[in-house]
Chain A
């Protein structure tokens, strides 16, 4: 485990978020932080508020109160547009499945991440070559990446393209929401190998959410979401 540096990759304090939609709930997080360069597995069943937590960290939704910092930047200080820009530049996101624009090629899907992120784009000389280097390292044949629409790829291949997209331009933080749940056991292991290797190469902090404890051995730290967040369901407060 790395030393806890002065600036945490992610830090939440006294955060409270209320969802007023059809099934209202309230999420409270007193204190949760991830050190820079750390790999953390966040354990939680569905409904434990993990998607909401990830949306908060990514700045897609804003809390009513409390302080969220990513890489030392206070998200509340940013306008909604600036948060979008910040997310693009500093966070790579991998979803459970359906990560890709199905009509576009894998290559375009990867390059699209750079379109919104000038800082990540600035770290790369030739985006196309870099995208192909990454997909190559992730074991995807170039012909498939360049020519085929993403919908023609297998689920495992799509997840690996999502990794390449999250990692291109080396963002400080990778957020992965159950990226292996749609893969079988063998594919899970090789997927995680690749993810870890590439995240390490990019010096990125990794936050992964899963309900599968068995994955924990690879990570620096295992956190049970139940210990960090408190969820209240029912009528909106």
Chain B
């Protein structure tokens, strides 16, 4: 087809401006697809933060707040759950397993969580995956600690290293009389567990035995050895993860915990709360998509402007075509073909850029943000988007095409160059 060949040669003859235009559109396409990938990746990672847990129980507050502090280690609990209530719930016939969590202390910016060995068995993420140890193992001593992958790598800890837990989240007072020892380091999960310092529930109790109101009671310090002989049953915990024997019992158990007469408690379904939270986070996502769509629109307008600006110097070309018998529609079709070619090449190049970018950035993104970006063939949705870009390009090029049509009407065969 001579026309396609001529159109391609014409574009190549203007390779500088056409190249820049293609690059701009390709970048915008890559940006949009990239945002889309990050968005779906983030949503999937987010929803995968916790799985196989039927209920999360905490003191009565909001469901999103409970989710935030119990799973994402963001914010604080307003209240605790008394040990008696915890035991009550644990003893209920519907409950298959229960994992207590005690939060509130920190280590160099990372949250410390007191829990039991059951946590390593029961906590699941990314569709039922269990926690793995990269090094070492569970707590074998009162003052053992297991580190999340990020904590270990960021702070450079290895097995056997001592760790001092600080009291509270942003305090300078430390439980330095009772240092912990790293007994295990977890493999990377891409969940907040990576940024958590895990110690046993008794360990939490042990470092607080001689504390009152945020400071050690003067003159009544208990040594690390002495504390081992004491009863370290906690008086309260922060939250608990619950698994039920039969999924059919989840709602009844939830209702009964929510109506627990002795203490105001809240039980939430993690999936529902995650969705609720994503609904809040999702506003940013919509804004991101909006912005990248605008970037594409801008790039396409740039292309229309490029074609438009080129029309004047191409009067000769059009006069020649007119003289050869090309109709006005041919002139319009020629410019549409040009825009379609530019957009098609741009879409292809943009997709290539995306995959190249993903390939390069994926390990980094996974390591830095715990965001797993899958590299897979373009989805129907993405192909549809690429088609839409090409169609939009043809549409905006109607502006210069109509202008060219008018010019060819007015100038006839006169060649002014």
Contacts and interface: CB of A to CB of B under 8 A. Distances in A.
Co-assembled chains A and B: yes
Interface of A: 21, 51, 54-55, 58, 60-61, 80-81, 84-89, 93, 95-96, 98-104, 108, 111-113, 115-117, 149, 165
A134 to B, nearest CB: 16
Given A98-B316, A103-B9, A61 B412 contact: yes
B320 interface: yes
A111 to B, nearest CB: 6
A101 B320 contact: yes
A116 B9 contact: no
B84 to A, nearest CB: 86
A93 B413 contact: yes
Contacts of A93: 323-324, 413
Given A51-B413, A60-B413, A115-B3, A99 B320 contact: yes
Nearest to B9: A103
B374 to A, nearest CB: 43
8 closest pairs, A vs B, by CB? A88-B325, A103-B13, A116-B325, A60-B412, A93-B323, A84-B327, A55-B412, A103-B9
Interface string B399-417: 0000000000010111101
A88 B413 contact: no
A84 B331 CA distance: 12
Contacts of B3: 115
Interface residues of B, number: 27
Nearest to A88: B325
B333 interface: no
A112 B324 contact: yes
B137 to A, nearest CB: 71
B317 interface: yes
B415 A102 contact: no
Contacts of B249: none
A84 B9 contact: no
A149 B12 CA distance: 12
Contacts of B16: none
Contact of A108 (B6, B317, B410): B6
A35 to B, nearest CB: 24
Contact of A96 (B5, B326, B415): B415
B329 interface: yes
B229 interface: no
A176 to B, nearest CB: 11
Interface string B304-343: 0000000000001101101111111110000000000000
B191 to A, nearest CB: 57
B235 interface: no
Given A103-B12, A108-B2, A116 B413 contact: no
Contacts of B328: 80, 84
A93 B417 CA distance: 18
A108 B323 CA distance: 16
B333 to A, nearest CB: 13
A103 B412 contact: no
Given A86-B325, A98-B417, A101-B320, 17 more contacts: A51-B413, A55-B413, A55-B414, A58-B413, A60-B323, A60-B412, A84-B327, A93-B323, A95-B320, A95-B323, A95-B415, A103-B10, A108-B9, A113-B324, A115-B3, A116-B326, A116-B330
A78 to B, nearest CB: 12
Nearest to A85: B325
6 contacts: A86-B325, A93-B413, A95-B323, A95-B415, A117-B324, A117-B325
Given A21-B410, A51-B413, A55-B414, A101 B325 contact: no
A8 to B, nearest CB: 21
Nearest to B329: A81
Interface in B1-51: 2-3, 5-6, 9-10, 12-13
A111 B326 contact: no
Contacts of B412: 55, 60-61
Contact of A98 (B6, B322, B415): B415
B267 to A, nearest CB: 72
A138 to B, nearest CB: 18
Contacts of B410: 21
A174 to B, nearest CB: 12
B341 to A, nearest CB: 14
Nearest to A177: B413
Contacts of A104: 6, 9-10
Contacts of A112: 2, 6, 324
A89 B325 contact: yes
B417 to A, nearest CB: 5
Contacts of B2: 108, 111-112, 115
A120 B204 CA distance: 96
A101 B8 CA distance: 13
Nearest to B322: A60
B359 to A, nearest CB: 36
A154 B414 CA distance: 22
A88 B324 contact: yes
Nearest to A113: B324
A89 B326 CA distance: 11
Contacts of A21: 410
A29 B12 CA distance: 45
Contact of A101 (B10, B12, B330): B10
A129 to B, nearest CB: 16
A112 B326 CA distance: 10
Interface string B124-140: 00000000000000000
Nearest to A94: B323
B327 A81 contact: yes
A96 B413 CA distance: 12
A69 B283 CA distance: 69
A165 B13 CA distance: 22
A100 B3 CA distance: 15
